[in-house]
Structure 1
Amino acid sequence: MIDFKITTFLTVAKTKNFTRTADILHITQPAVSQHIKLLEHHYNVKLIYKNGRQMELTEEGKLLFNYALEMDRLSKMMESDIKNKSSIIKKYYIGATLTIGGYILPEIIGKHKSIYKNIDIMLYVENTESIMDKLFNGNISLGLVEGPFDRNKVKYTKLKDDELVLAVSKNHPFAQKCCVTIEDVLKERLILREKGSGTRKIFENALIKNGYCLENMNIYMEIGDITALISLVESNLGCTIISREAIRKSLMSGNLIEIPIKDFKILREFNFVYLEQHNLEFINNFIEFCKKNLELS
C-alpha cells in the first residue's frame, strides 16, 4: 500500500481538480490541499500550478507522476500476489476488448474453470485504450486486444488472426451484389464502433493507408455496444465494418450478409499483452490454454 498522499497526488494529476479528487477519495478538499502541500514540502519543489482555471503539473510534478504511477502499479501487484499466495482460490484479473471478451473468451474461461477449479478469472470487457490503461495501472495482469498498441512498452503474443468485413442486413441493397467498392461503402450510412475501439482504429488505419480521407466517411451512428450495433444493422439502419467473429451467429441465421469489398481487405491480430514481472506462470499457462482451445474449436 502506497502513502495516501501519493494516491491524492495521482488523483489530482489525473482529474486536474481538487474538488473532484476529494469526491473520488472521500476526503475533504482542504485535506487534498494539505496532502499536496506536504509532498511539496517533503521534496522542496512545486508540483502543481494553476494555468487559468486548469491545474497543471510542473516538470517536477510530471517526474513524480511517472514514478508514482509505477509505485501504484507495483503496490497493486504486490497485494494481488500476497493474497494469491495464501489463498486456496487464486484470483486473477484480465481484460479484453469487446469482440474478444464478448465472443471468444467466455467459452474459454468456462472451460478453464471446469479444469482449474482453484482459479477464478475476473474479466473486464472494454475498448483497447481502457484495457491498456488498466494494464499499466496494475488493475489487470493480462490483456487481450484487437487494436494497435505500443509494442515497445509491453510483452505480447499473438492469439489469432482476424478479418474485418462489411456486414449488411438481408434487406439492404448491397445484399443483392456479389461485391462493392470501398467508395460505395463510404457513401452508405455507416454504423461504427466508438473512437478508441480496436475495430474502429484498424478500419481508419486501412482507409488512410489506401489514400482515403476519414472525413469522407458517412458516419450515421457510433456505438460502444457490439450487440446493439449488430441489432441496428440487422434492422437495416445502416451497414458496418466488423469482426467476422462477432457476427458468426447472424451470418448463420441469415440476418446479416457479408459483402466482399473489391481490392480492400482488412486483416488484424488478436494479441495478448502483459508486463514482464507479474503473474508470469498464470499468464503463460492461460495463453497456452487459449491457443489450444482455439485449435480444437
Structure 2
Amino acid sequence: MKYTLRQLAVFVETARHANISKAAEHLHLSQSAASSALKELESQYNIQLFDRVGKRLLLNDLGRALRPKAQALLDQAEALEHDLLRQRLAARLTLGATLTIGNYLAVKLLLAYRSRYPNSDIHLDVDNTQHIIEKLVNFELDAAMIEGEISHPELDLIPWQSDELIVFCAQDNPLALKHELTDLDLINAQWILREPGSGTRQTFDRAMHGLLSELSVSLELQHTEAIKEAVKASDQIGCLSRMTLVEELKSGRFCELKIPHRTFDRMFYLVVHHDKFHSQAIDQWMALCHELGPSFSTLG
C-alpha cells in the first residue's frame, strides 16, 4: 500500500477548502509538508486530482470520484483509533439542523444524547436548508436534520416526522375575526416570511402555488423569533411551523388563520451522505432521533 493516511487527509482537506494553505492549517501542518504529501500521492500513482486555477485547487473528475472513498477510509481510521483507546463513545459527532429544527427541537435531542452517552463530543451547526445541504455534500457534517424537500444524488434522505405550517396574525388583526381566509384575502394581506432557501419558505411557496406572483411580501427574515416580533407589532401576517407557535397560540398572543383549501403539511428528514462511514456515534444519534424526536416535537 503506497498511500498514507496523512496523504489522504491532505487530499480531503484540500478538496474541502480548495486551498492547500487552509488544508495545512486545519491539519496543523506546514504548507510545505501538506504540499509535499499531496504531490507524493499524485506522483505515486501518476495521477492528477485537482485542476490548478490561480491559487485555488479544484477537484477534477478523478478527484471527485475518489474523494468519498478517501473520506470513508479516514472516518474508519478515526473510529478504529477510538476503539483502540477504549473511548469509542467519545467519538466526535458534528450535526447540522435547519433553523426551525435547530431552535425548537435539536437542543432537546442533544441534551438527551449527552445524558445517555455522557462522554460524547457532539456539536451542532444551525443554518438554512440550502447551506446545511452544501455542508453535508462537502463532508463538513456527519448527519443533519432538515425541514426542506431536496433531491441530491449524493445524499440519503430518511423521512423522520411530519410537521405543519400555519398562517398566523396578532390577536387584534381584523383577519383574526374571519372564519377562514380566501385566496383574495391572501393576496390582499401583507406577509412577513422566512427567506428563500429555507425549508419553511419552500413549503409556503408550494402551498401558495398559483398565487405567488400576486402576494405582497414586505419582509423576509431568517429567524423565527424576528418574524414573530414583526407580526406582533404590525397588521401583517406570517407563516411558520406550528411547533414554533405553541406558547403564543395558547396564550392568545397570536391567532391561527384557517386556510382549508391550501395544504401546509411537510416532512422533517434525517440526511446523511451516502458515502459517509457510519460510526457507532452516528448510528446512536439516528436511533435516538427516531426514538425521541416525535415526542419532543409535540411538546412545543
TM-score range, shorter chain: 0.7 to 0.9
Cα separation, partners in 2 of 1:74 and 1:260, compared to 1, 3 Å: farther
Residue 289 of structure 1 and its aligned partner are, at CA, apart by 3.7
For 1:97 and 1:229, how far apart are their aligned partners in 2?
16
- Kindly report the root-mean-square deviation, in angstroms, between the aligned alpha carbons of the 2 structures: 4.0
Counterpart-to-counterpart distance in 2, 1:25 and 1:217? 50
Alignment partner of 1:258 out of 244, 256, 259: 256
For the 8 Å contact 2:82–2:88, the answer to whether it is kept is no
2:58 counterpart letter in structure 1? E
Distance 1:75 1:218 in 2: 54
Q: Residue 182 of structure 1 contacts residue 264 of structure 1 at CA under 8 Å; is this kept in 2?
A: no
Correspondence for 1:199: 200
Contact conserved, 1:92 with 1:119, CA < 8 A, in 2? Answer: no
Query: Can you list the C-alpha shifts for 1:19-58, whole angstroms capped at 9, x where unaligned?
Result: 5545555655555544432332122122222457764332
Q: In the alignment, which of 46, 49, 66 is matched to residue 48 of structure 2? A: 46
2:290 alignment partner, one of 267, 287, 294: 287
The whole-number CA distance in structure 2 between the counterparts of 1:295 and 1:103 is: 11
Which letter does structure 2 place at the counterpart of 1:169?
Answer: A
Q: 1:235 corresponds to which residue? A: 233
When normalised by structure 1's length, the TM-score is: 0.73
Aligned to 1:163: 164
Conserved in 2, the CA contact under 8 Å of 1:95 and 1:126? Answer: yes
Report the alpha carbon displacement of residue 139 of structure 1 after superposing the two structures with TM. 4.0
Q: Alignment partner of 2:239: what SS?
A: strand
- Give the letter aligned to residue 201 of structure 2: R
Work out the CA distance in 1 between the residues paired with 2:176 and 2:58. 53
Measured in 1, the distance between the counterparts of 2:40 and 2:92 equals 36
Are 1:12 and 1:18, in contact at CA under 8 Å, matched by a contact in 2? Answer: yes
**1:278/1:250 Cα in 2 relative to 1: closer, same or farther (>3 Å)?**
same
TM alignment of 1:118-137, pairs within 5 A: 118=118, 120=120, 122=122, 124=124, 125-132=126-133, 137=139
SS state of the match for residue 64, structure 1?
helix
Q: Is it true that 1:13 corresponds to 2:15 in the alignment?
A: yes
Judged with a 3 Å threshold, the aligned counterparts in structure 2 of structure 1 residues 149 and 57 are, in CA distance, closer, same or farther, namely: same
- Partners of 2:189 and 2:134 in 1: how far apart? 34
The residue type paired with residue 288 of structure 1 is E
In 1: Cα distance, 2:9 partner to 2:29 partner:
12
Matches of 1:237 and 1:265, distance apart in 2: 24
Q: Cα distance, 1:64 vs. partner?
A: 2.6
Deviation at 1:264, TM superposition (A): 0.9
Specify the alignment match of 2:246 in structure 1.
Answer: 248
SS in 2 for 1:154: strand
Partners of 2:190 and 2:217 within 8 A in 1: yes
Q: Distance in 2 between matches of 1:68 and 1:117?
A: 29
**Secondary structure of the residue that 2:245 maps to in structure 1?**
helix
For residues 123-144 of structure 1, give each alpha carbon's deviation from its aligned partner in whole angstroms, at most 9, with x where no partner exists: 524333455566663744x543
Whole-Å Cα distance in 1 between the matches of residues 34 and 179 of structure 2?
A: 63
TM-score normalised according to structure 2 size:
0.73
Q: Which of these residues, 36, 39, 58, is aligned with residue 38 of structure 2?
A: 36
SS of residue matched to 1:199: helix
2:269: which partner in 1?
A: 271
Partner SS, residue 186 of structure 2: helix
CA–CA separation in structure 1 for the residues paired with 2:21 and 2:88: 38
C-alpha distance in structure 2 between counterparts of 1:73 and 1:217, whole Å: 48
> Cα 1:219–1:34, aligned 2, differ >3 Å: closer, same or farther?
farther
Deviation at 1:168, TM superposition (A): 2.1
Aligned residues, how many? 289
Structure 2 spans left out of the alignment, 5+ residues: none
Q: Please identify, of 124-133 and 235-244, the stretch whose mean Cα deviation from structure 2 is larger.
A: 124-133
1:3 corresponds to which residue? 5
Deviation for aligned residue 1:293: 6.1
What is the alpha-carbon distance in structure 2 between the residues aligned to residue 6 and residue 146 of structure 1?
33
Structure 1 residues 44 and 89: alpha-carbon distance in aligned structure 2, compared to 1, 3 A threshold = closer
Deviation of the 1:172 alpha carbon: 3.8
Q: Which deviations, in whole Å up to 9, do the C-alpha atoms of 1:132-177 show, x marking residues without a partner?
A: 566663744x543322144984362533x21111122234443343
Relative to structure 1, the CA distance from residue 75 to residue 222 in structure 2 (aligned partners, 3 Å threshold; closer, same or farther) is farther
Greater shift after overlay, 34-43 or 182-191? 182-191
